[in-house]
Structure 1
């Protein structure tokens, strides 16, 4: 099985391309909005809020409407989600909105994100299985990391050359292309259909049912906690170098190390490691996510060593390939959309909260120790997962 054979599936190919475009557009918009808000207000706090404003509102969309991913045709739902992103981006770029209204608009639109992610996850789980599914998720991870790197680099260049407003216009156009691609090229899949009220009822009941299952709950938490800890640590990389008296640009460059490691890990584990070996590597890889961050507790680490630690931590995220395959196999087929929506909702919520918690801890502890503490908490979560869910990765 190769990446080429996975990309031969027309549904997967469309989702792979459109999702990569959308992630690039999201990254570009987030950076441009943060720069614009800081330029207008001079407030570091508001700039940080603008950077993370799209995370927490996803909790509302995923909790109340997660079942929509199973009730509406994926082609229409995904295209609509990207279309809404296009419309909001157009407003941000062309209308002279007050800062509070811009932030409110981004927060409101982000509530659709879990539904789109749920629909995408459902389609991929339906059209791919076994090793094909693992390779498909591996490609998604590779593309996501690459899109974030390109988006970050492109955002800096676009804002410098075009200005923040025009950079957001570029982001809107990318979302429009993604929406049109899905609407015109993604094959239709059958759905059960239902009303909005039915979707809300099914969402609440479905979330309770998924989280009540001990194995599924363990798989979900295993995909929420380590990334949340790492996000908290990442949010302190720039302040860490600033406190050390090093150029702030150093921290910005090192933020790219984690995605590079994620690309390496996804490629190695997804392409070259078999199913049984992936299961055996699950706990070691999960441990690798947090353990290198503990090294930041050592005073005066050379910049190269800091970068190497972040790259190694990024490779550990390949543990998700084993967990995602097991998750896909355990979730009932008619609840896959909601399950992936719940997964996305919790992940985004945790990643939205962790930087705030990590930042609050810097009022008590030195920045380096907080980064190390984030890594230690991630390792502790892995130990708990290993002790309390020994049967989780048993093959179906």
Structure 2
């Protein structure tokens, strides 16, 4: 399905979208992110209305992330065993179940709601592994890199749209209805993937015929044992983990300044806005070699705006700082070419699942650690400390963040 092209040649968004399976995949990801945002928002509102507990309401934001670590560790070899359209479609159908079930039965115990979402979340890395492994099969060279940039833009843009649209929907319907919309969106995404990607061939698979659990564990171990792959994974993970830690303190930062809670919504949207613009600029105006050379400087610059939070900036300045940080989140685009090249054919899908699992795991762990730090040094100080850790981690990972430039 992939189209051979000069790996160093600059391409365009239009050339990426020529192939119908790529458009289907992008549409599927859009519906997935939209449904996921609706589910988190609807569930948090429903749980808070039932319990009046800020803690339980906050827990609902993380219940869709933490269990992904188990799915990523134990199930991602499925992505290399079956046709992509089957893995993606069934993963989305399973992921749709909690929204539909809770929407139809909002009187379920809160614990049962959280268990439903948590169990369904374990399949998310399998979906991510299959879709991530499929993209380099459909696109080659700079088309693939630009395709990854477009996926990042879709994720950031849909996150912004989902938060805004979800809030608007809740103004006219109850939280269970939003959960039904979330489940419906994920179900439609599954149908779209199952029909639109059915002619895409199966990814090259490993020759070993172990069970799913053993194959997943062994494959993850082999990937992490490869120093080149491990370095590139850590380069994608670690700076982003610390940024998430700072992001998790935004609501507390607004409260610490005695501002209205509505200000938190603006700040929460600031980072995705920067991510969207940054991905657009890198993809549209930068050549492959330029993106690769910018990987390390952007990773370092990702943390620098966060250092200013130690001074307690007002909300407009804080928003500008978060947008600036978000602009640098595209640093990972510069190492996508070498990451794909470093992967063994039979483990490609699983490698993308591992990349997603590590990202989600760190993003689930960093907020409580950042919160504990905020208790000790204050919210602004903790956000600045997260920024410092971003800079230090980027410097420590300077080798994988400085790939050999592609020839132009």
Q: For residue 65 of structure 2, give the secondary structure of its aligned residue in structure 1.
A: coil
1:53 matched to 2:54: no
Q: Extract unaligned runs of 5+ from structure 2.
A: 1-10
1:206 matched residue in structure 2? 219
Which residue matches 1:280? 293
User: Are residues 1:366 and 2:378 paired?
Assistant: yes
Preserved CA contact (<8 Å) 1:218 1:392? no
Where 1:364 maps in the other structure, the secondary structure is helix
Deviations 1:280-339 (A, max 9, x none): 11111101211111110013x132211111011001111111122221111122211000
- Tell me how many residue pairs correspond in the alignment: 394
Q: Which moved more, 1:2-11 or 1:338-347?
A: 2-11
1:68 aligns with 2:81: no
2-side partners of 1:253 and 1:94: how far apart? Answer: 32
Q: 1:190 Cα deviation (Å)?
A: 2.4
State which of 162, 168, 171 in structure 2 corresponds to 1:151: 162
Q: CA deviation at 1:23?
A: 0.2
2:349 is aligned with 1:337: yes
- Find the partner of 1:182 among 189, 193, 210: 193
- In 2, Cα distance between the equivalents of 1:195 and 1:395? 34
Deviation at 1:112, TM superposition (A): 0.2
Say whether 1:106 aligns with 2:117: yes
Matched, 1:311 2:323: yes
Matched with 1:271 is: 284
- 4+ runs deviating over 6 angstroms: 193-196
- 8 Å CA contact 1:78–1:116 kept in 2: the answer is yes
Change (3 A) 1:82 1:194: farther
Instruction: Verify the 8 A CA contact 2:292 2:403 in the aligned structure 1.
Output: no
Q: Which residue of structure 1 lines up, in the alignment, with residue 308 of structure 2? A: 295
Asked if the contact 1:86–1:172 (Cα under 8 Å) also holds between the matched residues in 2, the reply is yes
Equivalent in 25, 38, 50 of residue 35 of structure 2: 25
C-alpha spacing 1:352/1:160, structure 2 compared with 1 (3 Å): same
Cα distance in 1, alignment partners of residues 173 and 167 from structure 2: 10
1:16-46, CA deviations, whole angstroms, 9 ceiling, x for partnerless residues?
Answer: 0111111011011101101111111111111
Tell me the residue number matched to 2:153: 142
Higher mean alpha-carbon deviation, 263-272 vs 100-109, is at: 263-272
**C-alpha distance in 1, partners of 2:292/2:202?**
33
Write the mapping of 1:118-137 to structure 2, written as runs, cut at 5 A. 118-137=129-148
Alpha-carbon spacing, 1:103–1:160, altered in 2? closer, same or farther (3 Å): same
C-alpha contact 1:27 1:151 (8 A) present in aligned 2: yes
TM score, norm. by length of structure 2: 0.93
Between the aligned partners of 1:341 and 1:335, the Cα distance in structure 2 is: 10
Whole-angstrom CA distance in 1 between matches of 2:210 and 2:116: 24
1:122–1:340 CA contact under 8 A, matched in 2: yes
Q: Within 1, Cα distance between the matches of 2:145 and 2:195? A: 27
1:77 aligns with one of 61, 73, 87: 87
> Residue by residue, what CA displacement relative to the aligned partner does 1:113-150 show, whole Å, maximum 9, x if unpaired?
00000000111011111110111011111111110001
Query: TM-score, structure 1 length as denominator?
Result: 0.96
Distance in 2 of aligned mates of 1:249 and 1:390 = 37
8 Å Cα contact 1:134-1:325 kept in structure 2: yes
In terms of mean alpha carbon deviation, does 183-192 or 304-313 score higher?
183-192
C-alpha deviations, 1:50-69, integer Å up to 9, x for none?
01111111111110111111
Please report how far the alpha carbon of residue 160 of structure 1 lies from its aligned counterpart in structure 2 after TM superposition: 2.1
Partner Cα distance (1:161, 1:289) in 2: 38
CA separation of 1:393 and 1:207: change in aligned 2, threshold 3 A: farther
Q: Is the 8 A contact 1:262 1:318 kept in 2?
A: yes
How big is the shift at 1:87? 2.0
Aligned positions of 1:213-292 closer than 5 A? 213-292=226-305
Cα distance change on mapping 1:196 and 1:354 into 2, 3 Å: farther
Within 2, Cα distance between the matches of 1:228 and 1:351? Answer: 5
How much is the aligned-residue C-alpha RMSD, in angstroms?
A: 1.7
Q: Is the 8 A contact 2:293 2:402 kept in 1?
A: no
